[in-house]
Amino acid sequence: MKFSDYNISADIKKQLVVLGFNRPTDIQFKAIKPILDGEDVMAIAQTGTGKTAAFAIPTIDMVGRAKAKYSKGKGVKCLVLVPTRELAKQIAGVYHDLAKYTKVKTFGLYGGVEQEQQIATLNNGIDILIATPGRMFDLISQGALDVTSVKQLVLDEADLMLDLGFAKDITDVLKFVPQKRQTLFFSATISRKIKSLAYDVVKNPIRIQISPKNPVAKTISHAIVMVEMDDKRFFLENMAKEYPDYKMVVFVRTKVRAERVVAAMERVQISSEALHGGIEQKDRFAILDNFRDGDNKILITTDVAARGIDIPNVDMVINYDIPDVSENYVHRCGRTGRGNKRGQALSFCSPDEVVLLEEIEKYTGDTIDRYEMDKTEYLTIVKDTQDGSYNWKALIDEANKEDGSDDEW
Is residue 181 left, alpha or beta, with left meaning phi > 0 and alpha meaning psi from -120 to 50?
Answer: beta
368 and 226 share a domain? yes
C-alpha–C-alpha distance, residues 83 and 76, integer Å: 19
275 and 199 share a domain? no
CA neighbor of 97 nearest in space, from 66, 60, 69: 60
Within a domain: residue 92? yes
31 and 152 share a domain? yes
18 and 96 share a domain? yes
pLDDT of residue 47: 66
204 and 247 share a domain? no
Q: What are phi and psi of 117, to 5 degrees?
A: -70, -35
C-alpha–C-alpha distance, residues 273 and 288, integer Å: 9
pLDDT of residue 70: 65
Within a domain: residue 393? no
Last residue of a domain, one of 210, 245, 262: 210
Helix 375-383 to helix 232-242 angle (10° resolution) is: 80
The DSSP result for 245-257, as a single string, is T--EEEE-SSHHH
256 and 193 share a domain? no
171 and 224 share a domain? no
Q: Are 112 and 282 in contact (CB under 8 A)?
A: yes
42 and 182 share a domain? yes
What distance lies between CA 47 and its chain's CA centroid? 7
C-alpha–C-alpha distance, residues 31 and 242, integer Å: 42
Last residue of a domain, one of 175, 210, 245: 210
Q: In what order do the strands lie in the sheet with 316-319?
A: 273-275, 298-301, 248-251, 316-319, 343-349, 220-226, 369-370
Q: What is the CATH number of the domain that holds 303?
A: 3.40.50.300
Number of structural domains, the chain?
A: 2
Within a domain: residue 380? no
**What is the domain range of residue 256?**
220-372
Task: Compute the C-alpha angle 193/166/137, nearest 5°.
Answer: 145
197 and 317 share a domain? no
Per-residue pLDDT tens digits of the chain, which is 409 residues long: 889 899 999 999 999 999 989 899 999 999 999 999 999 999 988 766 788 999 999 999 999 998 877 655 578 999 999 988 888 999 999 999 999 999 999 999 999 888 999 999 999 999 999 999 999 999 999 999 999 999 999 999 887 787 777 888 888 999 999 999 999 999 877 777 778 888 888 888 898 987 655 678 778 899 999 999 999 999 999 999 999 999 999 999 999 999 999 999 999 999 999 998 888 888 988 999 999 898 999 999 998 777 656 788 899 999 999 999 888 898 888 888 876 788 999 999 999 999 999 999 988 888 999 998 888 999 999 988 877 666 555 555 555 554 443 333 2
Q: Are 166 and 83 in contact (CB under 8 A)?
A: yes
144 and 248 share a domain? no
